[in-house]
Amino acid sequence: MEKSELSTRDRMCSVAGGMAGLLVDREIPSRLIPFRGEFPLLDMIEAIRFREAIRSTMWIEDLPPKFLYAAAEGSRIARLEREFQHYLSRNGLKSGDFEKLEDAEKSEWLQRWMEADSVSADDLVVKKYRDEATPVSKSLGDPAMPVAEKREIYDDLVARRAYWDDLCFEFGRIGWEKKLLNLALYIHYGGDLEVVLARYKENHPDYADRIPHSLAYYISYLRTGEATSVLHYFLLEKACLSESRLTALLTAELRERLEEVFCWDGGTNSAWTVGIDYRGEEKMDEIITTLDIEKGREYLIFGNLTIKPFIMETKETLLKENPWRVLAEKIEKNGYMRLEKLNAYADDIPFIEEFNERTKNEPEYQLHTEILPYPFIGDVLGARVVLLMSNPGYKVSSNIEAHEKMSDEEKRFVIRAQTQAMLLEDRAIFYSGPEYKPFNDEQDWYWAKKTRIIREAVPGAETKIAAVQLMAYHSRKYKPFPAKMGLLPSQEYTKRLVKYLIDKNVIFVYARSKAQWLDFVPELENATCVELSSIRNACLSEKNCKDGGFEKIKAALTE
């Protein structure tokens, strides 16, 4: 086989070396073809080392000279035998039946095959390796394989369920070290895990939910030598890292841990390895005990990485990346007056239009963009208790008529307050005082009523209670989007915000749609939450809070 005919796959150790590994120590390499030469190609000890080498080396050209020669010759013998078997099969003769034939008949079959497949007598001669001057078979192929071809091989390799579905049978058949080495080499040759995972999710949508678990397992194994550890739990359940952040973290770890090592009896041929801290959990425990909470959390996420692949979620990042800033700035430029038609986050508009088209015969569910959205109420980032709502209600009497009765100055006052809430700059869930009368008239005094009892029990509670809406836009009745429409772009930010609050150990109150909130942010399952007796009444009272929830709320507000 000429170099130009050899596929990239055939130059992989797992292919060429794998075929050769079955026969390099055989006294008679084939029971079908009478190869001539000095056998075995390698003695017993060399054969053991050869098999170890092909397991830890990707490309056949990276093997030491003697092993390279054995792999090339061994795989050539295996290919010729396979081709002869195919020839026999095409002509109605099984390999077992061929072995029972007389020598003369065997010779006739061999001659016909050699003529048909252009195999010469010299092709059946195998020479034993003598020194580095021994020529290597042409079947080796071009050792200068382009990096793009290597990346393509790994791309196909690591995009399988065996790498990303920890519940499937195939996942356990490949060792952690082997999978991590293949992932690291894929990245080394220019691969992108985000691209691989996007394609994997398209091909295996039913198993995509296991990707974060697999990512956390890999990171944990690299740092502790154990896939299931305290670190695995922390990354998924405590830090609540998103899939994209876990992917970035694993990529950074593999880049730093991939090493080129020299082996094979002091030779200069190279192999790759991934550094794994098999006693990392002990070191991790020692380090954590010397750090404060914030530094300890940062260490558990980033470990010893010299370059952090992302910025941890902080109050600063949430304020900076708030999608409602653009609309707020437009309102400010408009003199704190509502825009004429679309008071909405620009990326949400196509979704809103589609939803309103779907519900055009159900006016109670229509989303209203002629008034300002209300994604948050109160000092969300500083709150100790956060009510989880569905979406702001809509009443013509308060949202339209009450607003129109106000003077322009009063309208600006109300809209400025609503804009501050969108920007997470609100200070309380309810404001008292004569200057806030226009604001409370338009809001129908809703939160004043719902928080009266808790405010009487804990003075100043209004500054520590906030509310987050599942959807920011007003409607008379709430109706979730159909599953195939997906989430509003602005809801992705809400999800980030709630995860940040979970990490801050706030008390959540399911004021509306518990099941939908859990589906939206599954991490709420592990947060401290209070359920209300009436899902239609967001009142914070002892009677309306289940299972001692009112006392939990009071305790959180008095901390």
Identify whether 133 is part of a domain: no
- Rounded CA-CA distance 8/10 in Å is 5
Q: Which residue has the tokens 């309103």?
A: 356
Q: Dihedrals φ, ψ of 515, to 5°? A: -60, -40
Handedness of CA 410, 415, 421, 424 (dihedral sign): negative
- Rounded CA-CA distance 61/130 in Å is 18
* Cis upstream peptide for 350 (omega within 30°): no
Q: What integer pLDDT is reported at residue 5 of this predicted model?
A: 40
Range of the domain at 444: 325-557
Q: What integer pLDDT is reported at residue 174 of this predicted model?
A: 85
Q: Dihedrals φ, ψ of 310, to 5°? A: -160, 165
Contact between residue 72 and residue 114 where contact means Cβ atoms under 8 Å apart = no
**Residues 482, 514: one domain?**
yes
Q: Which residue has the tokens 């200068």?
A: 144
DSSP 249-302: HHHHHHHHHEEEEE-TTT-S-EEEEE---TTHHHHHHHHHTTS-HHHHHHHHHH
Identify whether 551 is part of a domain: yes
**Residues 94, 152: one domain?**
no
Enter the pTM of the model: 0.52
**Residues 342, 424: one domain?**
yes
Contact between residue 339 and residue 418 where contact means Cβ atoms under 8 Å apart = no
Q: Dihedrals φ, ψ of 262, to 5°? A: -110, 135
Contact between residue 530 and residue 509 where contact means Cβ atoms under 8 Å apart = yes
Identify whether 399 is part of a domain: yes
Identify whether 136 is part of a domain: no
Domain boundary among 282, 309, 336: 309
Domain boundary among 309, 340, 370: 309
Which helix (H) or strand (E) segment holds residue 216: the answer is: helix 211-224
Q: What integer pLDDT is reported at residue 9 of this predicted model?
A: 58
Q: What integer pLDDT is reported at residue 137 of this predicted model?
A: 47
- Rounded CA-CA distance 512/492 in Å is 19
Q: Which residue has the tokens 């196509």?
A: 350
**Residues 170, 102: one domain?**
no
- Rounded CA-CA distance 281/231 in Å is 8
**Residues 59, 186: one domain?**
no
Identify whether 16 is part of a domain: yes
Contact between residue 454 and residue 465 where contact means Cβ atoms under 8 Å apart = yes
* Identity of the amino acid at 316: E
Q: What integer pLDDT is reported at residue 147 of this predicted model?
A: 72
Residues 6+ apart with CB under 8 A from 509: 385, 386, 387, 388, 529, 530, 531, 532, 538, 540, 545, 549, 553
Identify whether 538 is part of a domain: yes
- Rounded CA-CA distance 229/231 in Å is 5
Q: Which ranges in 25-133 belong to alpha helices (H)? A: 44-56, 65-90, 95-99, 103-116
- For the chain, the domain total comes to 3
**Residues 43, 96: one domain?**
yes
Partners of residue 387 on adjacent β-strands: 467, 509
Identify whether 431 is part of a domain: yes
- Rounded CA-CA distance 26/22 in Å is 8
Going by C-alpha positions, the residue among 366, 367, 324, 365 that lies closest to residue 346 is: 324
84: its two tokens:
């002869």
**Residues 231, 264: one domain?**
yes
Identify whether 134 is part of a domain: no
**Residues 242, 299: one domain?**
yes
**Residues 217, 87: one domain?**
no
Contact between residue 277 and residue 223 where contact means Cβ atoms under 8 Å apart = yes
Contact between residue 164 and residue 222 where contact means Cβ atoms under 8 Å apart = no
**Residues 204, 122: one domain?**
no
Q: What integer pLDDT is reported at residue 357 of this predicted model?
A: 94
**Residues 102, 220: one domain?**
no
- Rounded CA-CA distance 84/345 in Å is 68
Give me the residues of the chain with pLDDT under 70, please: 1-11, 130-146, 261-271, 294, 441-442, 444
350: its two tokens:
């196509």
**Residues 332, 303: one domain?**
no
Q: What integer pLDDT is reported at residue 294 of this predicted model?
A: 67
